[in-house]
């Protein structure tokens, strides 16, 4: 049996786990060529777009961190709809169990496990529980990140504790999770690791040094991991989502800033969970078996590499 595991990596002092699953979206009135605000979109009861079909994901065990809300929660539904088994590993146990129950009701098997990705013992316990209860781990999606209510400030005024929190979750947490799952993947001689970065790091945004630095570091980490894990048929890639105003970002980034980012994109709309989930499905499928050490962007043309 194969399975999907989703974890939230933020420590208890960071408020990002319990909000409703909400997004903001914009669309373009093609006839007039103007931007039209369509406001808040409630994804609490969204339906998975089943046009994406990856039969090789059936029964896969996939680890996705940060799945108690937002994009990670959407990943859980999308993987389950493909027949995979999401394990929602979440620091907020109540939020994680709620997502697991949603997935079980709509799609099939799911398991919630409470974890703090900044704590190596907690991550080790998570992996042990997954192996004990589901028997294997096929994929890891390092999606957990510190962003909620972070301070926007020049780096010389940035609180040191916020710098450390970003490093602990965004980089060290991803390292801990990858380190913990690799032995099971090596034994199976198959695995997928997707490290979720952000297309915004290419822009060198001012006042977000801690976030931008840690998200860019994930690219180098992924490439080194890909070099080392290739002999075991384990691929490692980085996924760069673009602008998507989830409940995690909303407290930290003014709405006007999101409008500005959207206006810069080639595609004049904000992304949805459907736009971001499908590329991750691909990177975890057999169809991506010859792709490793690469970065896949889904940002509506905000940045070009």
Q: What is the DSSP string of 185-206?
A: HHHHT-EEEEEE--GGGGGT-T
Residue 272 has what pLDDT?
A: 84
Tell me the C-alpha distance between 276 and 281, whole Å.
9
Query: How many CA atoms does the CB half-sphere of 47 hold within 13 Å?
Result: 3
Return the HEC string of 55-112: HHHCCCEEEEECCCCHHHHHHHHHHHHCCCEEEEEECCHHHHHHHHHHHHHHCCCCEE
Query: pLDDT band at residue 264, thresholds of 50, 70 and 90?
Result: confident
21 a catalytic residue: no
**Which of the four pLDDT bands, split at 50, 70 and 90, describes residue 190?**
very high
CATH of range 4-298; options 3.90.1010.10, 3.40.50.720, 2.60.40.10, 3.30.470.30:
3.40.50.720
Pull the structure tokens for residue 65. Answer: 């961190």
Average pLDDT over residues 235-261: 69
DSSP sequence for 234-261: EEEEEEEE-----TTTTTTS-HHHHHHH
The residue ranges of every structural domain in the chain are 4-298
Give the pLDDT confidence of 67-89 residue by residue, as tens digits: 998 899 999 999 999 999 999 98
Does the structure show a pLDDT above 90 at 151?
no
Q: What local confidence, expressed as pLDDT, does residue 29 receive?
A: 35
* pLDDT for residue 250 is more than 60: no
Identify the active-site residue in 54, 75, 211, 261: 211
Burial class, 13, CB count within 10 angstroms (exposed 0-12 / middle 13-18 / buried 19+): exposed
Which is more confidently placed, 305 or 87?
87
What pLDDT shows up at residue 181? 99
pLDDT greater than 60 at residue 4: no
Residue 167 has pLDDT above 90, yes or no: yes
């Amino acid at each position: 049996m194969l399975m999907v595991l989703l974890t939230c990596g933020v420590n208890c002092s960071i408020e990002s786990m319990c909000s409703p699953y909400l997004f903001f979206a914009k669309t373009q009135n093609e006839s007039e060529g103007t931007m039209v605000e369509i406001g808040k979109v409630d994804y609490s009861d969204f339906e998975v777009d089943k046009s994406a079909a990856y039969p090789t994901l059936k029964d896969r065990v996939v680890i996705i961190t940060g799945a108690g809300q937002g994009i990670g929660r959407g990943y859980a539904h999308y993987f389950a709809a493909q027949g995979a088994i999401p394990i929602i590993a979440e620091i907020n146990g109540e939020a994680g169990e709620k997502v697991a129950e949603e997935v079980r009701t709509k799609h099939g098997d799911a398991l919630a496990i409470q974890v703090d990705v900044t704590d190596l013992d907690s991550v080790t316990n998570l992996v042990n529980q997954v192996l004990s209860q589901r028997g294997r781990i096929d994929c890891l999606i390092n999606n957990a990140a510190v962003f909620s209510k972070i301070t926007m400030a020049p780096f010389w005024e940035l609180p040191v504790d916020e710098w450390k929190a970003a490093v602990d979750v965004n980089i060290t947490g991803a390292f801990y999770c990858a380190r913990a799952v690799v032995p099971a993947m090596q034994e199976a001689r198959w695995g997928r690791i997707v490290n979720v970065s952000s297309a915004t790091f290419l822009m060198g945004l001012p006042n977000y040094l801690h976030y931008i630095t840690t998200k860019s570091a994930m690219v180098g980490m992924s490439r080194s991991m890909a070099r080392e894990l290739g002999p075991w048929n384990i691929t490692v890639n980085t996924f760069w989502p673009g602008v998507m105003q989830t409940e995690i970002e909303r407290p930290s980034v003014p709405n006007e800033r999101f409008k500005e980012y959207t206006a810069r994109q080639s595609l004049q709309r904000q992304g949805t969970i459907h736009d971001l989930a499908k590329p991750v499905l691909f990177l975890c499928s057999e169809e991506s078996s010859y792709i490793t050490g690469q970065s896949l962007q889904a940002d509506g043309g905000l940045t070009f590499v």
